[in-house]
Structure 1
Amino acid sequence: MHRRLLWTVPPVAVLTLLFLYPLALVVQQSVQPDTGGTSLQPYADVFASEAFRHALWTTVWLALASTVGCLVLGFALSLVIAFVPFPGAKAVARFIDVYLSFPSFLITLALLFIYGTTGIIGSFQFLTTPWGVLLAEITYFTPFVIRPLLAAFAQLDTAQLEAAGSLGARPLRIVRRVILPEAVPALAAGGSLVLVLCLNEFGIVLFTGAKGVTTLPMLVYSKAILESDYPGACVVAVVNVSISVGLYGLYRVVSLRAGA
């Protein structure tokens, strides 16, 4: 028992040093206004600002819309890769593994060559709008849904599909009655991951140059770097972290009750 406790000391120490201690400093700074002392006035000022409410709403709707788009597109692409025989299917599946290692700004930079002001169809200036940010996030985060779906489909008993097909079931009915129930846990896992990542995404919004799109991470950046309002930036950061942790806790509760 004592040996097990000793083995937990190094990872806990590293976690405390690299994550918990900096997070504690952010929380501490959020209650220390520039005038000195300890006060909740920075929270009151931030919550009362129109910029914060707009950034919160933009962050939430972009994250939700991106998650829905990734789930729909990821499920459709996973069905094609896993069940529709075509040359290079295995290569595509391997490429998705490599794609997951790409930084988000790299994908956004590639989209700039198409939708940017000097891109192929740049006259539309599509990428600098909220819909352009939404497209970039769906493009980047969809593989985070595809990967767990492909793993789930690999464990699916093909005999069920053959039996359903022999009984005259149409492809859509097979997908709805046989494949989709098996894919629900993978969809939940991938969708939860995408939702949390979209809530905290910074690089895509920054590289698209969408001036009218301000999310919570962008608000942290602007307050800290452009306005030198460090207490305000820490308040927004605390709110952003609280939302992410709250969503993760909700996911854990729901998954445990569902027996996942």
Structure 2
Amino acid sequence: MGSRSGNPLRTLWAIPPVAVLSLLFLYPLLLVVQQSFQPDSGGTSLQPYADVFASAAFREALWTTVWLAAAATAGCLVLGFVLASVIAFVPFPGGKAVARFIDVFLSFPSFLITLALLFIYGTVGMANGVWTDVSGAAEGPFQFLNTPWGVLLAEVTYFTPFVMRPLLAAFSQLDSAQVEVASSLGARPGRIVRQVILPEALPALAAGGSLVLVMCLNEFGIVLFTGAKGVTTLPMLVYGKAILESDYPGACVVAVVNVLVSVGLYGLYRVVSRRVGAQP
């Protein structure tokens, strides 16, 4: 009886956050969806969707967005797991400082990391400068930053700490005696990682990977600052249609598709990671 009488009070407490969420997120999203059905000619029509879906630029942007996000997420998961395992289980001087730096790294804007890569691997960056000074060539060999591979490198570099942070938290809860016992029984490092460390890391990998996937699907600054030619993602296409072409219905259509793709791939990733994590 006590729990029943408390239900109305809990409902009242839920009203303010739901109202704020509706005002700040759901209402603007509803306006975007509404605009996507209103062509410049007036009225309500599916013509904006037909025009966007018939565009080769949209199909290319959709494919580029999906494969870049999937590849970056896979790279972050692998690299993040390796680096977090080294920091957590391989003692070396400065390990704690590195772990603290990861927390600071998470606050960096994405374009800052991209600029750092440009200073190193850009056309006039340090790596190409050293190459030209040594070899006397007119230009250096590092010309990949303005390609999809440069975008992929920048995304993996920037988003890997978002995987490492939950992994380090999970490893801090792991009893080190399990690793020591497995090692004393003659288990090789690969087997220890596979049978002791990896099962404990799966929930953290799922959390970090899902976050990275959603962020990569909606990343704008990295693609913009690399200046990658021919690399157009859905967020870049929204920018181009809204700002450069003044095609607001088309931009809203792409934005709606971007939201649906993000939610769909996020849901698929969570289902797959949950099933993988449930396996013994």
Using the size of structure 2 for normalisation, the TM-score is 0.89
Cα displacement (A) at 1:176: 1.2
1:134 alignment partner in structure 2 = 152
Cα displacement (A) at 1:249: 3.1
1:230 alignment partner in structure 2 = 248
Contact 2:210–2:270, Cα closer than 8 Å, also in 1? no
From 260, 268, 272, the equivalent of 1:242 is: 260
From 3, 11, 14, the equivalent of 2:9 is: 3
Matched, 1:35 2:41: yes
Matches of 2:278 and 2:12, distance apart in 1: 32
**Bigger radius of gyration, 1 or 2?**
2
Q: CA RMSD in A?
A: 1.6
Matched, 1:157 2:175: yes
From 107, 111, 114, the equivalent of 1:105 is: 111
Matches of 1:8 and 1:256, distance apart in 2: 29
The list of structure 1 runs, each at least 4 consecutive aligned residues, that deviate by more than 4 angstroms after superposition, is 251-260
Cα displacement (A) at 1:255: 6.0
Structure 1, unaligned runs of 5 or more: none
3-state DSSP class of the match of 2:210?
Answer: helix
2:187 alignment partner in structure 1 = 169
Contact 2:206–2:270, Cα closer than 8 Å, also in 1? no
Using the size of structure 1 for normalisation, the TM-score is 0.96
Deviations 1:88-127 (A, max 9, x none): 1111111101111111111111111012222113443321
Look up the equivalent residue of 1:59 and give its one-letter code. Answer: T
Summarize the alignment of residues 110-129 of structure 1 with structure 2, pairs less than 5 Å apart. 110-122=116-128, 123=140, 124-129=142-147
1:16 alignment partner in structure 2 = 22
Matches of 1:235 and 1:70, distance apart in 2: 30
Matched, 1:88 2:94: yes
Look up the equivalent residue of 1:100 and give its one-letter code. Answer: L
2:4 alignment partner in structure 1 = none
Matches of 1:196 and 1:84, distance apart in 2: 31
Matched, 1:77 2:83: yes
Structure 2, unaligned runs of 5 or more: 1-6, 129-139
3-state DSSP class of the match of 1:127?
Answer: coil
Cα displacement (A) at 1:158: 1.3
Look up the equivalent residue of 2:235 and give its one-letter code. Answer: P
- How many residues in Structure 1 have an aligned counterpart in Structure 2? 260
Matches of 1:234 and 1:44, distance apart in 2: 13
